[in-house]
Chains A and B, each alone.
Chain A
Amino acid sequence: AQSVTQPDIHITVSEGASLELRCNYSYGATPYLFWYVQSPGQGLQLLLKYFSGDTLVQGIKGFEAEFKRSQSSFNLRKPSVHWSDAAEYFCAVGAGNQGGKLIFGQGTELSVKP
């Protein structure tokens, strides 16, 4: 069965510092991988996704993620964090043979120190 693990429940970084949020997945074939962001009181918004091609994908708001098949990982990165990036981040895996069904990780809450 597909699963997603986000090992870090909560991360705090200083504004201007770099950020890496970890995501590991379990899936037998090439997965479809997503990162979503949720601001307080809001729904989820797509940051970026990977389903084929270049393993380094660029997203909105200056985020990028790298798919590493050998490590079953899809970590999210940003070189310089802004205070407005404080939110909860969700990694998700989708299985092509199950339509649009997504399995989400537990989420990582990001706090940004001034």
Chain B
Amino acid sequence: DAGVIQSPRHEVTEMGQEVTLRCKPISGHNSLFWYRQTMMRGLELLIYFNNNVPIDDSGMPEDRFSAKMPNASFSTLKIQPSEPRDSAVYFCASSPGGLGQETQYFGPGTRLLVL
């Protein structure tokens, strides 16, 4: 079975440009999570969806970040405009139902570098 799929795997862009990260969760999973990982701040939850509805976006750093989940098999995380401090690895994860004891399955991540 395919796991969580993220694209692109690597992205290099210049400050001010729009960046769109994509995620396809595991089929049948109802919850989707976006994380950001940096050396300084570790692994941070940005936002999560349950049944395509955003449940908690308190981790989204600022208005430059937005996330959507138009259907059960696709989500995007957009940064507009991007800044060098947004450089990080962004992970998408999914879980079957969004219950607290469920395993989250992580994608391979998108490594973003903003110059």
Contacts and interface: CB of A to CB of B under 8 A. Distances in A.
Interface of A: 32, 34, 36, 41-46, 49, 51, 90, 94-107
B99 interface: yes
Chain A CB within 10 Å — which of B4, B55, B104, B109 has the most? B104
B108 A94 contact: no
Contacts of B33: 100, 102
Interface of B: 4, 31, 33, 42-43, 45, 48, 50, 55-56, 91, 93, 95, 97-109
User: Nearest 4 pairs between A and B by C-beta?
Assistant: A43-B106, A96-B100, A51-B101, A104-B43
Contact of A46 (B48, B56, B97, B103): B103
A88 B33 CA distance: 20
Contacts, number: 70
A88 B100 CA distance: 23
B103 A101 contact: no
Contact of B100 (A46, A51, A105, A106): A51
Given A94-B101, A96-B99, A42 B108 contact: yes
Contact of A43 (B4, B55, B101): B4
A107 B100 contact: no
B66 to A, nearest CB: 19
Nearest to A107: B42
Given A100-B48, A101-B56, A107 B43 contact: yes
A99 B100 contact: yes
A96 B45 CA distance: 16
Given A101-B56, A104-B42, A43 B102 contact: no
A41 B55 CA distance: 29
Nearest to B45: A101
A81 B33 CA distance: 32
